[in-house]
């Protein structure tokens, strides 16, 4: 079954044997608990919706299918998924080796919770060079945590090469695949062990649900993750599960349009005299464009760029947009624009932001699926504000 077909059908196959289970669209099972006829016989494997719910299970089947995984788990947020992975796989004294350019929320929980409160050791490296990973592996390294492309500088790392190296050292590789979605990149196929998503973003695609997901094929690890998810209660609600199920049906169509628009905008910005640098793996001048071509089937809808000038020019541009909405998050059908230094990465000390390249002139775009002419006009009008 091809990707587009799986995105529509897996998890919602009608039961044509009769009864009330022949729905083309799975119902939203809002019940918090399920009745049993006999004391020792839970009905249809469901007992209590924290432990299992038919709507959430349908979503988890589809999530797994789209990443070519055996198992999927749906969480109340992307950070709930991140937390459950760490709680399941790490103990005091273990070491996480992570890409130096990560989503701010991931860095925050690594540093302020797991490192500070639970004595989990933490190292960041520039994972664009596999040698940096190899040089930083310790005897107690248990997880290598990757984003590719990264947030917000769109750096890439070689998933296949890093996974091979990790497995030689008995280390688990986790890849946050939120930016690309399984439509454009499938880390498990490249050797990674676990994939994590914020379903809030492209998977749902409509900016009306907060959620997270984990996909993997290791049954023993899946059982541990599911146990801890149930124990901690970090589950996605039935209604949000329904929203993500519905959103996934159009994921292939949306991702194609996100990319088509993004390529045109990236080239437009790259040619502007008011723009110093554009970070988008679909541009030939991206330093890892060739890796992007090998590792991904498309380039996605995310990009960042550096305006010439300083904070005032950035402020004028950001507030000059009308169709690009100034807001955090990404991956919805509507175009969003944000300022990492004062929004998603504001918690980082100024020195660390500058070391990473997150300056006050850096702007991140989540390119939506609106008409491209309207988007280009909006950007040009905003650029006119800083001339």
Helix axes 78-89, 219-232, angle to 10 degrees: 120
Sheet with 172-176, edge to edge strand ranges: 71-75, 212-216, 194-198, 172-176, 141-147, 95-99, 121-125
**φ, ψ for residue 329, nearest 5 deg:** 85, -175
Separation of alpha carbons 114 and 23, rounded Å: 44
For this structure, is 176 an active site residue?
yes
Q: Which tokens belong to 189? A: 């196929």
For this structure, is 201 an active site residue?
yes
Helix (H), strand (E) at residue 176: strand 172-176
Write down the catalytic residue from 50, 164, 246, 256: 50
Cα atoms in the 13 Å half-sphere on the side-chain side of 47: 7
Percent composition of the chain: helix, strand, coil (DSSP 3-state, to 5)? 40, 15, 45
For this structure, is 164 an active site residue?
no
Write down the catalytic residue from 56, 107, 142, 201: 201
For this structure, is 91 an active site residue?
no
Write down the catalytic residue from 46, 103, 280, 299: 103
Write down the catalytic residue from 100, 101, 158, 176: 176
Q: Which tokens belong to 363? A: 């702007």
The residues carrying an active-site annotation are 50, 103, 176, 201
């Amino acid at each position: 079954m091809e990707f587009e077909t799986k995105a529509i059908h897996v998890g919602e196959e009608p039961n044509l044997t009769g009864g009330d289970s022949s729905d083309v669209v799975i119902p939203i099972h809002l019940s918090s608990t399920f009745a049993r006829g006999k004391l020792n016989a839970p009905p249809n494997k469901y007992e209590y919706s924290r432990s299992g719910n038919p709507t959430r299970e349908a979503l988890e089947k589809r999530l797994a299918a789209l990443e070519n995984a055996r198992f999927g788990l749906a969480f109340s947020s992307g950070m709930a998924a991140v937390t459950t992975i760490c709680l399941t796989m790490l103990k005091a004294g273990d070491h996480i080796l992570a890409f130096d350019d990560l989503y701010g929320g991931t860095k925050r929980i690594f540093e302020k919770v797991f490192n500070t409160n639970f004595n989990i050791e933490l190292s960041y490296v520039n994972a664009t060079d596999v040698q940096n990973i190899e040089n930083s592996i310790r005897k107690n390294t248990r997880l290598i945590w990757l984003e590719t492309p990264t947030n917000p500088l769109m750096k890439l790392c070689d998933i296949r090469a890093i996974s091979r190296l990790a497995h030689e050292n008995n280390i688990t590789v986790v890849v946050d695949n939120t930016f690309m979605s399984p439509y454009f990149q499938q880390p498990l196929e490249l050797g990674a062990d676990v994939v994590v998503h914020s379903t809030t973003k492209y998977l749902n695609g409509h900016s009306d649900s907060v959620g997270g997901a984990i996909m993997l094929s290791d049954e023993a690890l899946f059982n541990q993750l599911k146990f801890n998810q149930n124990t901690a209660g970090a589950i996605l609600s039935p209604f949000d599960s329904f929203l993500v199920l519905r959103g996934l049906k159009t994921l292939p169509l949306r991702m194609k349009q996100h990319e088509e628009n993004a390529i045109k905008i990236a080239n437009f910005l790259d040619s502007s005299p008011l723009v110093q640098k554009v970070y988008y793996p679909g541009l030939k001048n991206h330093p890892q464009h060739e890796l992007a071509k090998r590792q991904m089937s498309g380039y996605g809808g995310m990009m960042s760029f550096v305006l010439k000038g300083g904070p005032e020019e950035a402020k004028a541009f950001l507030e000059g947009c009308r169709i690009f909405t100034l807001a955090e998050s990404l991956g919805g059908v509507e175009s969003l624009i944000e300022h990492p230094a004062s929004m998603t990465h504001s918690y980082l000390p100024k020195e660390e932001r500058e070391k990473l390249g997150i300056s006050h002139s850096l702007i991140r775009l989540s390119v939506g699926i609106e008409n491209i002419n309207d988007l280009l006009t909006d950007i040009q009008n905003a650029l006119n504000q800083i001339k």
